[in-house]
Structure 1
């Protein structure tokens, strides 16, 4: 069953001709409390879809589990996701609320303890351009103007994509999907519609995703962590334009830069 992602909300619409009352499609935002082995792990403000993929990816990128096989069961109820792991004594970190707002909450980032991604076969620059356009073509964003899109892709094409009010939630979803499908993350790249933050880079490092792409900007801390730990950051992918901030050796077909 498809979960509705938006509701029509009454508003006053202004334009050059004046004002009129009407309806506009507004993205749904709901709290989802996650319990692991009976303990409250966190509460996410998010879009109500693909919750099993989300919680699988979240537990993995927070390093609470190391594989999808560690999960015994996932029970989804209204505003509550209950997870039982095979190790019932799994230790959790402190509870936190993941806000839909960018940078609302994040894990503490210790770059020395993060994984480092080894060199690998580069992705063609034309593949990056083409796949970014395909992933970010969102009818839901066109209708509502209020959704983030994240995709996971390889040279074979798009593996999966997710839409959510928070790009961090959407990234957890695509990682969770890939984890359940046994995806080799070292041969994938992530694409997002919004800013690449340090937390987005951290999640890619935990999963082993070597490239993260956005049609938007990045941050200085994201660039610093990516440079130190082997992730290629690409921003402002629009038409023929893009900015490659770190590890350009992960992309093939780049013209030699002018001095």
Structure 2
């Protein structure tokens, strides 16, 4: 399989002069998601954890509802000698599921992190997110612990400083899984695929993102069934409205010194001192 990280020659220009050397950078390759021999989507992605990507993307797109809808999965790499460079993730669906997808088959070809390329109507672009179960609450200290745990676990980002991460965190277990990719949507799809393949329920933890929160990130989190989404960057207005309707607690701009809660704050459990400070706000 294509390595997810490449080393390339570069010249570093600084105030003290010019120095030759190498830098680790993330690989980016076309990855086609193929259902029963028909290409459904082509995304630019990091060539790692691609079976997770195939399952997760198919689930968050609504192509499958569970692992039971997939009879077989395989990844095939194509090099320049084949006339095309990239990877196909081939999923063979059950006859019933495959038949249901014929009418909605489409092909997407888009740049890194593109989540809506090829959508044929405004209705599909802003479709309502699935309503999530109640799940559990988290203290402010637990959210801070979760946010602090993610950077040390971003192995690809340590090497490249150029990839996004999506992770799942639980108070008892800490970081359950971390997935990285040049595309933020891809990273979340890989995380979804990983958790679903292992039968790991999402109600007891929270989803962590290193990126901004757009509507697609909320929709994918809802498909996973997680009720709390925490991001280090800000959300879009549409993402906030979507999270509100889906019942998701959206926490964003999470830093070492705090965070902001945009929707369903009842899941954020405050201690006595925090409640007192909150009471004096506004």
Q: Calculate the TM-score normalised by the size of structure 1.
A: 0.92
CA contact (8 A) 1:136 1:192 kept: no
CA contact (8 A) 2:206 2:226 kept: yes
Residues 244 and 64 of structure 1: CA distance in aligned 2, closer, same or farther (over 3 Å) = same
Tell me the distance in 2 between the aligned counterparts of 1:193 and 1:106: 26
Residue 151 (structure 1) aligns with? 167
Instruction: Please identify which structure carries the higher helix content.
Output: 2
Residue 250 (structure 1) aligns with? 267
Per-residue CA distance 1:39-66 (angstroms, 9 max, x = gap): 1111111000111111101100001101
Structure 2 unaligned regions, length at least 5: 78-86
Residue 116 (structure 1) aligns with? 131
Tell me the distance in 2 between the aligned counterparts of 1:212 and 1:195: 11
Residue 4 (structure 1) aligns with? 3
SS at match of 1:20: strand
Q: Specify which of 104, 120, 141 is matched with residue 126 of structure 1.
A: 141
Relative to structure 2, which stretch is displaced further, 208-217 or 131-140?
Answer: 131-140
Residue 84 (structure 2) aligns with? none
Residue 94 (structure 2) aligns with? 86
CA contact (8 A) 2:129 2:218 kept: no
Tell me the distance in 2 between the aligned counterparts of 1:105 and 1:246: 28
Q: Specify which of 194, 198, 205 is matched with residue 211 of structure 2.
A: 194
Structure 1 unaligned regions, length at least 5: none
Residues 184 and 114 of structure 1: CA distance in aligned 2, closer, same or farther (over 3 Å) = same
Per-residue CA distance 1:170-223 (angstroms, 9 max, x = gap): 111111111111122222211011111110001111221111111112111111
Tell me the distance in 1 between the aligned counterparts of 2:27 and 2:133: 39
Residues 32 and 128 of structure 1: CA distance in aligned 2, closer, same or farther (over 3 Å) = same
CA contact (8 A) 2:32 2:43 kept: yes
- The alignment of Structure 1 onto Structure 2 pairs a total of residues equal to 257
CA contact (8 A) 1:106 1:199 kept: no
Q: Specify which of 99, 107, 115 is matched with residue 111 of structure 2.
A: 99
Tell me the distance in 2 between the aligned counterparts of 1:220 and 1:42: 27
State how 1:53-92 maps to structure 2 within 5 Å.
53-78=52-77, 79-87=87-95, 88-91=98-101, 92=104
Alignment RMSD: 2.0
Flag the structure with larger Rg.
2
Tell me the distance in 1 between the aligned counterparts of 2:113 and 2:197: 28
Residues 98 and 58 of structure 1: CA distance in aligned 2, closer, same or farther (over 3 Å) = farther
TM superposition shift of 1:82: 1.1
Q: Calculate the TM-score normalised by the size of structure 2.
A: 0.85
Residue 156 (structure 2) aligns with? 140
CA contact (8 A) 1:35 1:42 kept: yes
CA contact (8 A) 1:189 1:212 kept: yes
Residue 41 (structure 1) aligns with? 40
CA contact (8 A) 2:113 2:184 kept: no
